[in-house]
Amino acid sequence: ESDMLLRPDPATFSILPWRTEKPGAARIFCDIALPDSAPSPADSRNVLKRVLEKAAKMGYTCYTHPEIEFFLFKDVPVAGVKPIPVDAGGYFDQTPIAIGQDFRRQAITLLEAMGVSVEFSHHEVAPGQQEIDLRYADALSTADNIMTFRHIIKEVALDQGCHASFMPKPFTEHPGSGMHTHFSLFEGEKNAFYKDGSTSGELSNVGKSFIAGIIKHAPEFIAVTNQWVNSYKRLHGGGEAPAKISWGAQNRDAMIRIPRYKPNKENSTRIEFRAPDSACNPYLAFAVTIAAGLKGVESGYELGEQASPASLPADLNEAILAMQGSELVRQCLGEHLFDYFLRNKRAEWLEYSKQVTAFEVDRYLPVL
């Protein structure tokens, strides 16, 4: 795949505000093309574009709003040494000694200088854990913004002498880092998830079918939204991470939550998909999630009961097995990327399976 062309997207051009020396430096996103100018089948940005084109043909524009969590550590990780968080703070901690406040302030200043709007930021539950929420935008712009976000977070960490990580679950005893993402479909200026006349937050049939599509196909595509061995330690490790394939209103244990919205703010109607972690490929994660939701709308899926006994795959291997037979994910990613992704994940699982872990040594070496 070396003989490729890059086609810059002029709308994404931005000066890097932390590179103040002359000459300056800039960033621009590119689409990958083959030598004959056809889109590359390996381009994850183009995968999302294809799904959004399908949504447009159905009359919809998809908007997304991610809540991105990450950890800050005092030093660059060293193999075999437990990382030390930069603080011992907790949820919404505002103690002056916590460096998270200044870190988030600097990161947000740089994000907004590059045109990425931020809605909220705060300290999360675990020591050293931060959350910054990006303002809603169309799904492609949001995915680009997430990539910009990760770059800036790493740059600010270097500047402040700490290490930032989007690893889903760095500690057994603390909650992991998710990327809860809010989704909505619009038909022109109208929110397609809003049920006309509703005052209780009830969703339209489109909204219900969109959820039903995600619920039905989640086991098939979870390997994409949660693509690492470590991702499943977060999903099945508690801390409001969704292990069950369920939905609910204002339920933070559900895989899909229906948030409340203010009176007369019908365009705020949305769903929150809580499974993805902040280390996913946002283009592919959004693509498979939206594709599943659109499949539900297109096929008129009925939304079942909120509680569900079904669980998400317990580990990456189970997720791979569920994905490899999925026609929906194959069509969404395209044959080339679908096969390559599975080969890559099988290799990762095989390598992980060979490892002798600290748990095994501590548990068995003294007694066996």
Tell me the pLDDT tens digit for each residue of 171-228: 999 999 999 999 999 999 999 999 887 766 789 999 999 999 999 999 999 999 999 9
Tell me the pLDDT tens digit for each residue of 302-344: 999 887 779 999 999 999 999 999 999 999 999 999 999 999 9
Tell me the pLDDT tens digit for each residue of 12-48: 999 999 988 888 899 999 999 999 999 999 999 999 9
Asked if residues 72 and 85 have their Cβ atoms less than 8 Å apart, the reply is yes
Tell me the pLDDT tens digit for each residue of 55-72: 999 999 999 999 999 999
Q: Would you say residue 232 has pLDDT above 80?
A: yes
Domain tally, the chain: 1
Instruction: Say what the pLDDT of residue 172 is.
Output: 94
Asked if residues 266 and 274 have their Cβ atoms less than 8 Å apart, the reply is no
Nearest to 275 by CA among 259, 252, 296, 293: 252
Do you know the residue count of the chain? 368
- 3-state SS track over 215-259: HHHHHHHHHHHCCCCCHHHHHCCCCCCCCECCEEECCCCCCEEEC
Tell me the pLDDT tens digit for each residue of 346-365: 999 999 999 999 999 999 99
| Residue at 92: amino acid letter | F
Question: Residue 121 belongs to a domain with what CATH number?
Answer: 3.30.590.10
Q: Would you say residue 1 has pLDDT above 70?
A: no
Residues of the chain with pLDDT > 90, as a percent, come to: 82
Instruction: Say what the pLDDT of residue 142 is.
Output: 99
β-bridge mates for residue 118, sequence order: 134
- Give me the domain span that covers residue 165: 5-356
Q: How far apart are CA 298 and CA 129, in angstroms?
A: 39
Q: How far apart are CA 202 and CA 198, in angstroms?
A: 6
Average pLDDT over residues 129-150: 98
Instruction: Say what the pLDDT of residue 199 is.
Output: 66
- Residue 364 inside a domain? The answer is no
Q: Would you say residue 229 has pLDDT above 70?
A: yes
User: Residues 99-102: contacts with CB within 8 Å, 24+ apart?
Assistant: 99/72, 99/160, 99/162, 100/72, 100/128, 100/130, 102/160
Instruction: Say what the pLDDT of residue 96 is.
Output: 61
Q: Would you say residue 291 has pLDDT above 80?
A: yes
Q: Which pTM was predicted?
A: 0.95
Q: What are φ and ψ of residue 4, in 5° steps? A: -125, 160
Which of the four pLDDT bands, split at 50, 70 and 90, describes residue 260?
confident
Q: Which residues contact 168 (CB under 8 A, 6 or more apart)?
A: 176, 177, 178, 226, 228, 230, 231, 233, 234, 277, 278, 279
Task: Sort strands 190-191 and 271-273 into parallel, antiparallel or unpaired.
Answer: unpaired
- Residue 33 inside a domain? The answer is yes
CA distances from 180 to 52, 64, 75, 242, 282 (A): 20, 10, 27, 11, 12
Average pLDDT over residues 258-276: 89
- Residue 362 inside a domain? The answer is no
Mean pLDDT of the chain: 94
Residues of the chain with pLDDT > 70, as a percent, come to: 97
Q: How far apart are CA 286 and CA 276, in angstroms?
A: 10
Instruction: Say what the pLDDT of residue 280 is.
Output: 98
Average pLDDT over residues 84-99: 77
